Amino acid sequence: MKKLLGKDEIREGVGRLARQLAAEYDGRPLTIVAILTGSLVLLADLIRQIDMPVRIALVGSRRQGDKSSTRRAVVVEPALLPKLEGRDVLVIDDIFDTGHTLVEVIAQLAVHRPASIRSAVLLRKAERCEVAVPPDYVVFDIPDEFVVGYGLDYDDRYRNLPYVAALEPADLASE
């Protein structure tokens, strides 16, 4: 593995995001909707650094359709969603790759008529973006490599690493 972002660098980046959000929302309550499972570490670290009223929701998204298809519809499971109408909502995700998941989740949350809806991601692979709407907040831009750690996984492994690393071909071959 090749380390891309160390734990101190990540902590500083998440702190920057927390300060941006505090300035943007100026003490107004914020509902943070985290997309499971990769964003859980970001969510935990972010809410500890936000000095403002927050509500938290976790949404699972699942791909629906033929497994051989490279892009299938994202369906948000609404069971854990709080009332969003009239509230400021921030959707967070671990990584913005092609962008389809984040865009589709935002569209499905928008039907609940929040006062505002924005998005934040820990990592963005800008050159892989296939959607017209970028995230509102990006903590780090990274190269187009397969990354793990800080919530991101490969075959349900490596989520617990306190840093972000790129798996190298030898790492993938040994699996």
CB 88 within 8 A of CB 113: no
Residues 36 and 124: their CA atoms lie apart, in Å, by 17
Assigned token pair, 95: 């990584």
Name the active-site residue from 93, 97, 136, 156.
97
Residues 112 and 88: their CA atoms lie apart, in Å, by 12
Assigned token pair, 166: 């790129």
The answer to whether residue 97 is catalytic is yes
Residue from 141, 79, 67, 70 nearest 100 by CA: 70
Residues sharing a CB contact under 8 Å with residue 25, sequence separation 6 or more, in sequence order: 52, 88
As a 3-state breakdown, the chain gives helix, strand, coil percent values, each rounded to 5, of 30, 30, 40
Catalytic positions are: 97
